[in-house]
Amino acid sequence: MLEVKRERIVVEGRVQGVFFRAATQDQARALGLVGWVRNLSDGRVEILAQGEARAVDRLRSWCAHGPARARVDSLESFEEPARDEFGDFEVRRDA
């Protein structure tokens, strides 16, 4: 049985205006994850990803550098209890 993991990831740096959200969505979907990504008002990007534990770990590793035009200065991640509430991985409105 696969281990399901849910993780909130917050990325800081030059992460808005560089297609970080769209690229994160592409990566998450390719990994079979569900959840969302959104811009925060302070310039950071927040991701909530859930799925097979190794896939969540791979997304977090990708977020540490992001797409080509991004510059990631720091990344924080917090594990949360898994819940069955998502059917896809979406880009959400800014917070």
Of the residues 6, 21, 69, 92, only one is catalytic, namely 21
Cα gap 68→79, rounded to integer Å: 27
Token pair for 82: 């898994």
Of the residues 8, 39, 54, 60, only one is catalytic, namely 39
Handedness of CA 62, 66, 13, 36 (dihedral sign): negative
Give catalytic status of residue 21 as yes or no.
yes
Give catalytic status of residue 71 as yes or no.
no
Catalytic residue numbers, as ranges: 21, 39
